[in-house]
A = this chain, B = another copy of it.
């Protein structure tokens, strides 16, 4: 920037906002030196400016009036950390119209209102940066969009939700049930009181929308792809994966080019233990990118949390100071996507867990149903059970179409051979 100093205004003094304040308290000298001019956090706006956030606050920094940021001619960059759709969107659009660059971590807003936000930024000739919206502190969007820009991407997928990964990790390590680990995660502050957003895959879906736009040039809203959470995963599934198949179960967001269109989906996935993503545990996230020239690249770190996310937010501010005029599109200029593949057309190997009734001919009849639907079986494992109880049967299939599996499961579940709804988990090779 040509100005002698850069002033930043922050809206939203919550968890991450306090992290941003802390970075400026601690590292402002190195930031300013690196930028060659003073970089100041000038104003922090929030309705609540009295609660102690555990960070030192300089006199005059806090304000309850958002226009002290939005209408302040001194302010060059606005950080939006309010979260949610409104008033966050109004704040961002107003900041852009007032010719201020904007930094945001608001994945929900960006995933939903992508076009309006980008168009408004472009129209007003300001930059809009949101590295913190995917993978928290992990450098993901800039590497994908810039460092790796020489590539066409085959796939972009990964572990994008720390809460879900923490729960699956603990279930794997301790053999505990989903509900028990969720409760523990809530007590530790790793899961929200209402954890739906994280454990049902919506958070992962929003991040995947951003990655899909950057990787393949196509904006795909959430209603257009399949999203399944981790609530149905049981310790038995995890144990079978671990001991019988040498796999782990992770909640993955997957965007993948195929000959027959782009696959985009979120669901629990069996992953070979040798895959590096299988070693990403606890609250950590990692994004796995496969490019036509670079091959596989993985970017790993803390996908959430006050300090890590604030690191990405301030990194974006510096990027703007370094390159105020950088005009690069987010993702390829032209969409590289011919069509979005219908979930029914996805091809995968499947893990099927059934509770079969102890009747004669059960196994024969179930395999017949699979056969009729064009599903070829790789292995069948029948667990022992107490007398008169339903018998757990685990089937691993060869590659087949999702449509075939869904039809087969429907037929099986409507038959007299099973006691409860069968479950499938997709297998990534």
Total contacting residues, chain A, CB less than 8 A: 60
Residue of B nearest to A295 (CB): B302
CB-defined contacts of A148 to chain B, threshold 8 Å = 139, 311, 315
Residue of B nearest to A307 (CB): B293
Q: Is the CB of B279 within 8 A of A314?
A: no
Most buried by B among A142, A149, A298, A328: A149
Instruction: Compute how far the CA of A131 lies from the CA of B150 in the bound complex, rounded to whole angstroms.
Output: 13
CB distance from A381 to the nearest CB of B (A): 28
Instruction: Compute how far the CA of A315 lies from the CA of B291 in the bound complex, rounded to whole angstroms.
Output: 13
Which of A247-255, A329-337, A352-360, A385-393 lies at the binding interface?
A329-337
Instruction: Compute how far the CA of A302 lies from the CA of B293 in the bound complex, rounded to whole angstroms.
Output: 10
Q: Is the CB of B34 within 8 A of A329?
A: yes
Q: Is the CB of A293 within 8 A of B279?
A: no
Which of A24-32, A108-116, A187-195 lies at the binding interface?
A24-32
Instruction: Compute how far the CA of A36 lies from the CA of B326 in the bound complex, rounded to whole angstroms.
Output: 12
Residue of B nearest to A36 (CB): B327
Q: Is the CB of B149 within 8 A of A34?
A: yes
* Known A-B contacts A148-B311, A294-B308, A315-B147; A139 and B137 likewise in contact (beta carbons under 8 Å): no
A-B contact pairs, 17 of them (CB 8 A): A22-B293, A23-B293, A27-B292, A31-B150, A36-B327, A137-B293, A138-B297, A142-B143, A147-B315, A149-B315, A150-B314, A293-B311, A294-B308, A295-B305, A295-B308, A323-B323, A325-B325
| Residues in A lying within 8 Å of B, measured CB to CB | 19, 22-23, 26-27, 30-31, 33-34, 36, 131, 137-139, 142-143, 146-152, 276, 279-280, 286, 291-302, 305, 307-308, 310-312, 314-315, 318-319, 322-323, 325-329, 332-334, 336
Given A22-B293, A137-B297, A297-B301: 8 more A-B contacts, CB < 8 Å: A30-B334, A137-B293, A148-B311, A150-B315, A294-B311, A295-B305, A297-B300, A322-B328
